[in-house]
Chains A and B, each alone.
Chain A
Amino acid sequence: MTDAVMPAGTAARKPSVYTEALKEAVVTAVLVFLLSIYMVGMQTQANQGQELSFVTQFRDVFWACVLVPAGRFLVALDRQGMPRPALFGGAAGFLYLFGIGALGLAGSLAYDNLPHPFDEPMVNIIFGLGGVYIFGVAYNGVRNRRHGALNVDEREVREERRANWARRMSGILGPFLVGIAVVLPVIVWVSPYNAATRQVVETLTLILTYVMLGWGLNIVVGLAGLLDLGYVAFYAVGAYTYAKLATELGFNFWECLPLAGCLSASFGIMLGFPVLRLRGDYLAIVTLGFGEMIRIVLINWQAFTGGPNGIGSIPKIDFFGLPFERFAPAGKTTFAQFFHIDFSTIHRVMFLYYVILILALVTNLVTIRLRRLPIGRAWEALREDETACRALGINPTNTKLTAFAMGAMFAGFAGSFFASRQGFVSPESFVFIESAQILAIVVLGGMGSQVGVALAAVLLVGMPEVMRELSLYRMLFYGMCMVLIMLLRPRGLLAHREPTIQLRKRGYSA
């Protein structure tokens, strides 16, 4: 509403900036009250006799009902052209609440003496982070006002520049990241911090497993545009294949790997054949259902899969026939003996790391090459326009099926690696949240972007590992970050989703 379009009389009755902001704050206060009065204000507890009772925590409700509307008030003022209170208020709120929360986490006595709105230090920190948001909104507003808001054309130009930047970054970042991945474990090993080598390398191995899964799913979601919510099912097939073959038939890792891949791929084809004719969202639910079905079968088919207990004591990986053991089994030389070095458990950890690195890079390489083959082009074409593809004689079902099988195969490889690393598989590892995590990695990375997927995997898998100390709050932050990253960059971290090949434009008439 600008004054120009209002009739002359109403201008006088236009409410002041403060009244408007206050009104918004009151509405927010009511909402926060509704959200928190029962959920936060009354904490239910069951005692030993299984009797339910509740304790009231109205102090937390009160402070939530003060702080959130206060923030809303500042944001509303900023929107009316008064950014200064939001800038200072946001910054002050952040510094105080975050500071006090950090003191509390550190177990400092000062925490009890200084006034703190919430008893839990962590909750103070979360509300402090809200201050960052307010500050950010106001700062952005100031910058936009100074340079003038962007119109649609300018925004498009900016988007394009960003996409170009992303592409260039991917070009530089890719080899750089691979280099880091190759040397990082060695650096950690020779560095003064080598006591932490095992932990670091194991975390890196976990991240790389997800990078590989992300790249595998990227073929299905990013290239072929099929929404697969049950990717973890193929991962499970790979893992159980390895577990069964290794424990019962005595196959070693390298023999199992291709078999696990093939079996996963055939599962992909079996599932894909009936359902790939369906529209996108139906495919999503069917794959989700398939993921759950595999898990239920794994839990209940006691005789074959070991039920909820899973399969244990899976043979560990060996170095092309040389086991990583302290004492050589009969008739074998250990890795350490063969190379005349001292035995260390770190050797296996390192070897596993490089195995998954190579597997992941193979996945990447295959994907990149496939994109340039007719089948890869067909995937991307299908993603963009299925009807046009049909008209041009591409068989959509077969094309989708290949993408599905490819993705499933890489999941099978990764699953087989997972089983050999853990030495133990159980249905617990293949729950829906894993599928969601892998999909989140692909989407956050910017669908179709290989480097973006790797970065997102580092972020999403590494972050909970780093925050392990926050235990209960870890997954809360995880969910929050997923929402936030989507809100800030809905197209992914490094998004450039144009086709790999396109017709050159010929002037304006094209």
Chain B
Amino acid sequence: MDWFPYFLQQLINGLTLGSVYGLIAIGYTMVYGIIGMVNFAHGDIYMIGAFHAMIMLLVCGALGITWVPAILMLMLIVSMVLTAAYGWTVERIAYRPLRGSNRLAPLISAIGMSILLENYVQLVQGPRPKPIPPLIRDQIHIMGGDNGSFLVQITYMQIVIIVVTIVLMGAFAFAISTTSLGRQQRACEQDMKMASLLGVNVDRTISLTFVMGAALAAVAGMMVTLYYGNNDFFMGFVAGIKAFTAAVLGGIGSLPGAMLGGVLIGLIEAFWSAYFSAEYKDVAAFSILVLVLIFRPTGLLGRPEVEKV
């Protein structure tokens, strides 16, 4: 059982990373499910969420708030609200006018929006990476560490990330399956025209989808801010691609799929870096995506697309 402690540690790291990817992936998968477009700017929305959380942390410091749970709550709420405003605005400006045009137009508009947001943040906040002081330092000792065996530990931050993700996922799944907004969303997903004939405000539903996606991405951004403590304006790009890969891996359009895909990508990355090479971890994630798509073209939990003539 020599291998077990090391394995366990990688499992913990992978799950933490996977939670973050999963939260971002939900934004992609929801938007794709409802209007069938790849929201390329979503990674940058996540970056904006991380910046909001970081600024809130500094503001807390300036205001003299030191109680950690209060700081966490403030960061969570403020960054969710402000980032949701960004999600709404992006949809309103760049995507809504293009609804109903060809498939590539919103994609290009989204790429443009992504460039715009990155450079906007670079202009207003500066190009240099921002070092963030750790808020929660302690960790729990699980096993090992004595007479040369591998030390396995889980930090409180990792626990916070995993717990917050599970709670949000639960709340989110509940909202989609029971509330009237969730019903409207599912109706729009199935048939937008019919839903609007039956009195669903399609524009409002789509806007709210973007708002929810942005809020979840903001949570992911906040947790990464606290976990890695190094934000820059370009951080959204790679995270965005990985999260989108996760959404496709899980079956795009499916919410549990996005979460599963996120966790899988996180695990693949953690294990590949640990056992093979850290440089090629992204290559591993993409290769597994290709393999899965070849054998299950709709992703792990995706519904098979019915071909209409």
Contacts and interface: CB of A to CB of B under 8 A. Distances in A.
Interface of A: 31, 34-35, 37-40, 42-46, 50-54, 221, 227, 274-275, 277-282, 284-286, 288-290, 292-293, 296-297, 299-300, 387-388, 432-433, 436, 439-440, 443-444, 447, 472-473, 475-476, 478-483, 486-487, 490-491
B119 interface: yes
Interface string B34-50: 00001000000000100
A277 B78 CA distance: 44
Contacts of A54: 55, 58-59, 62
B181 interface: no
Interface stretch (B5-13, B64-72, B282-290): B282-290
Nearest to B111: A436
Nearest to A40: B124
Contact of B279 (A288, A290, A300): A300
A284 B102 CA distance: 16
Contact of A274 (B32, B102, B105, B294): B294
Nearest to B278: A300
Contact of B297 (A44, A279, A478): A279
Residue of B59, B102, B108, B116 with most chain A CB atoms under a 10 A cut-off:
B108
Contacts, number: 188
A289 B245 CA distance: 8
Contact of A44 (B55, B112, B279): B55
Contact of A286 (B82, B93, B94, B290): B290
Contacts of B93: 483
Given A275-B293, A285-B289, A490-B98, 4 more contacts: A54-B59, A281-B252, A440-B108, A473-B123
Given A274-B290, A285-B248, A39 B130 contact: no
Nearest to A435: B111
Given A54-B58, A227-B104, A478 B115 contact: yes
Given A50-B131, A274-B290, A487-B94, A45 B108 contact: no
A281 B38 contact: yes
Given A297-B283, A436-B111, A34 B85 contact: yes
A52 B97 contact: no
14 contacts: A31-B85, A35-B82, A43-B124, A44-B125, A46-B128, A46-B129, A54-B59, A221-B104, A227-B107, A285-B248, A292-B286, A482-B111, A490-B98, A491-B105
B contact face: mostly helix, strand, loop, or mixed = helix
Contact of B108 (A387, A433, A444): A444
Contact of A475 (B86, B103, B119): B119
Contacts of B237: 432
B144 interface: no
A137 B97 CA distance: 14
Contact of B109 (A281, A293, A483): A483
Contacts of A433: 115
Nearest to A487: B97
Contact of B85 (A35, A278, A387): A35
Contact of B113 (A45, A387, A472, A483): A483
Contacts of A436: 111, 115
Given A53-B58, A296-B283, A39 B125 contact: yes
Contact of B102 (A31, A472, A483, A490): A490
Nearest to A33: B85
Given A292-B241, A490-B102, A39 B109 contact: no
Contacts of B112: 440, 478-483, 486
Interface in B220-262: 237, 241, 244-245, 248, 252
A227 B129 CA distance: 33
Contacts of A479: 112-119
Give the interface size bracket for B toward A: 35 or more
A296 B279 contact: yes
A38 B109 contact: no
A443 B105 contact: yes
A289 B289 contact: yes
Given A54-B58, A284-B38, A481-B112, A43 B125 contact: yes
A contact face: mostly helix, strand, loop, or mixed = helix
Contacts of A280: 103
B121 interface: yes
Given A292-B241, A443-B108, A482-B111, A38 B130 contact: no
Contacts of A293: 282-283, 286-287
A430 to B, nearest CB: 15
Given A31-B89, A35-B85, A482-B112, A52 B132 contact: yes
A50 B129 CA distance: 10
A274 B295 CA distance: 10
B56 A38 contact: yes
Given A38-B52, A44-B126, A275 B98 contact: no
Contacts of A37: 82
Contacts of B241: 288-289, 292, 432
Contacts of A275: 290, 293-294
A280 B112 CA distance: 21
A483 B116 contact: yes
Nearest to A36: B124
B120 interface: yes
A487 B55 contact: no
B20 interface: no
A109 B89 CA distance: 37
Contacts of B55: 38-39, 42, 44, 54
A486 B105 contact: yes
Contacts of B277: 300
A340 B203 CA distance: 71
Given A292-B286, A296-B280, A476 B116 contact: yes
B191 interface: no
Contacts of B133: 51-52
A196 B269 CA distance: 51
A286 B293 CA distance: 9
Interface string B76-89: 00100110011011
